[in-house]
Chain A
Amino acid sequence: MALGVIPQLIRNLFSRPMTVAFPHEAIPIPEGYRGEHTYDVERCTSCTLCARICPNRAIEMVEAPEEKREAYPKTYPRIDLGKCCFCGLCQDVCPSGALSMTKGFFLSTNDRLTVFRSPFPSDEV
């Protein structure tokens, strides 16, 4: 009984490690993973459902900057990834499919402003 660990130790000598040598190789992420959001402003209808369903109030409907207001006259969701809990309710509730979640999980940043995901193309904040 006391030697119960020994066979396992011997097996371990000849078995493959459970971990992989990240970042050279990685375990594939399954479909349906709730990672970083992707947003298509052209498909968005500004219905505000995503902002209303968000449990952490991480989504705020914002106006476009002055120079883009003609192209985007309504309000659009700006996501604060610092507040987001990645529950995916915004993706499920979105009627037009403008907001969905990707497999992206490299989210750490040194700049706190980059945690905001602007709805407008080529716009930092």
Chain B
Amino acid sequence: MRYFLIAFIALALTACATKKNTKVEQTWKGKGFTYYPSGALKPSNSGRGRKGDNYIYAPNIRFPLAYAPAYINSQVYGIGGQFGARGSLCDQRNYKYPWKDNYCEKRTRGMPLCPSGVGHQGVDIRAKDCRNNTHYAVAVEEGVITYIGSYSVKLRGTSGRTYRYLHLNSRSIQVKRGQRVWRGQKIGRVSNNMGGTKTSIHLHFDIKQTIRFGSYSKSVYVPPYSSLVDAYKRLLRGKP
């Protein structure tokens, strides 16, 4: 009975979400910004997203790129991507609204919050244009830089969340391990760095936080899309 009730609630939520997820949000306050809802992965064969989850897991964060415009969409399924239409990764059609969520996009990584149990741990963001090593990624929250690797930087915010920035140009990194950073402080420039293996020019951004249930807890990559939509609107409003 209990499982029936749970399944019913889940189906009801999914049905509501599906209805909402069929159209693009209208142009936002004359700024030209449009976006598909959270969890509506495009193209549809790119995976199963968390439809209907509009919860802002990281409230009031700053947008992770220094300035607009920026474009959240798939690198793998976009034009020039591994499974995308033929063309250049720098094709102008990749640099247009609407935004498309790509958290939970098809991957083999274990992801407890993705409907299929596996998927992309964050979202891919293109900067204003395709120029390499030009556009800055910035701290989304005041905090401390805890880790810098070959192609990743981790920021632990004062909220306790960990934000991960991938593919920044190594030589452009403006911070050091252990350095305190303020919200909006430059971290490094967006590039195609993935160690010795190049990727497309973009920022992979993800958010890890811990969920507690009684005496148990689990750290998970949470959906960043709604938080980023919210942050981007503030950036466009001139109040990042």
Q: Do A and B bind each other?
A: no
Which B residues are closer than 8 A to A by beta carbons? none
Which A residues are closer than 8 A to B by beta carbons? none
